[in-house]
Amino acid sequence: MLGSANLNVMVKAARTAARKLVRDFREVENLQVSVKGAGDFVTRADTAAEATIREILTTERPNYGWLGEESEEERGKDPTRRWIVDPLDGTTNFLHGQPHWAVSIALEHKGEIVAGVIFDAAKDELFVAEKGAGAFMNDQRIRVSGRRRLIECAFATGLPFGGRSDLPLTLKDLGRVMPAVAGVRSTGSAALDLAHVAAGRFDGYWERRIHAWDVAAGLLMVREAGGFVEPLAGDDVFGSRTVVAANGNVFAALADLVRQG
Ligand code: LIP
């Protein structure tokens, strides 16, 4: 696979962690009928996957910092670089035996995402991107869709579960967006939503209350595929924990609809 040495290390870490997650996923499918369910098992799988990724990345790049969903943040000896990792994005899907989850690894340099890997092991689709070098899926170049009319567009979003503070605003977003578009989908994985925007499968995506590790790799993927990514509110995606992404033709129209909230 072409790409920088850093990207190849990221792909190695994602594929290594995913091999065990695929085995765990098969076990989870068997646990659906159990009374206790698969909760504890998935938590262990998630944590183990992050430990595998962290071991590989910190061995190859010992001076980089770390921000991962399942472990303590760590500042590196090189304060300009850090890994941002979600070892299992789409946890609820995984828990319910839904084959729509991904390993997401991003490399940040001086506050900017410069490389991203999103591996959908269930579908064997490896999305990669490096700043200035384009976005690819299974080594084929990907680009955002070309749709221009909102009414022809399909968008993704994350639907809050009970108790999440963004539920009222998201319901208002849906009330404005759904009548104006061809469809809205909620897949349960922000990383794959952004990867699919980059691949032209969705025309855009927005979500409130995301974490940096959910979207770090995907936002680079969309930009390198020719799309636009901005915070829905505030100054930056990570700080505001909001994101809106779309192809350049419909970005302004989608952003306008969700920013009215
Ligand atoms: C998930 C996100 C998704 C969001 C879910 C959850 P996780 O990440 O990818 O977009 O709607 O609430 O946060 O928890 O599966 O890594």
What pLDDT, in 10s, does the model give residues 187-209? Answer: 999 999 999 999 999 999 999 99
* 1 pLDDT above the threshold of 60: no
Tokens of 77: 């000896």
What are the pocket residues of ligand 1 if the criterion is a CB atom closer than 6 Å to any ligand atom? Answer: 69, 86, 89-91, 158, 188-190, 207, 214
Give one DSSP letter per residue of 158-210, joined into a string.
PPPPTT-TTHHHHHHHHHHHGGGSSEEE--S-HHHHHHHHHTTSSSEEEEES-
Residue to probe by mutation, ligand 1, list 47, 165, 189, most atoms within 8 Å of CB:
189
- Which residue type occupies 16? T
Closest CA to 251 of 142, 133, 150: 150
Instruction: Indicate which atom in ligand 1 lies nearest the CA of residue 189.
Output: 9
For residues 229-246, give the mean pLDDT.
Answer: 95
* 37 pLDDT above the threshold of 60: yes
* 237 pLDDT above the threshold of 70: yes
Which has more confidence, 33 or 157?
157
For residues 221-233, give the mean pLDDT.
Answer: 97
pLDDT digits (tens, 9 = 90+) for 120-133: 999 999 999 999 99
Q: CA 170 to CA 8: how far, in whole Å? A: 37
Instruction: Indicate which atom in ligand 1 lies nearest the CA of residue 211.
Output: 13
For residues 42-64, give the mean pLDDT.
Answer: 96
Q: What local confidence, expressed as pLDDT, does residue 69 receive?
A: 93
Q: Are 63 and 78 in contact (CB under 8 A)?
A: yes
Q: What local confidence, expressed as pLDDT, does residue 119 receive?
A: 98
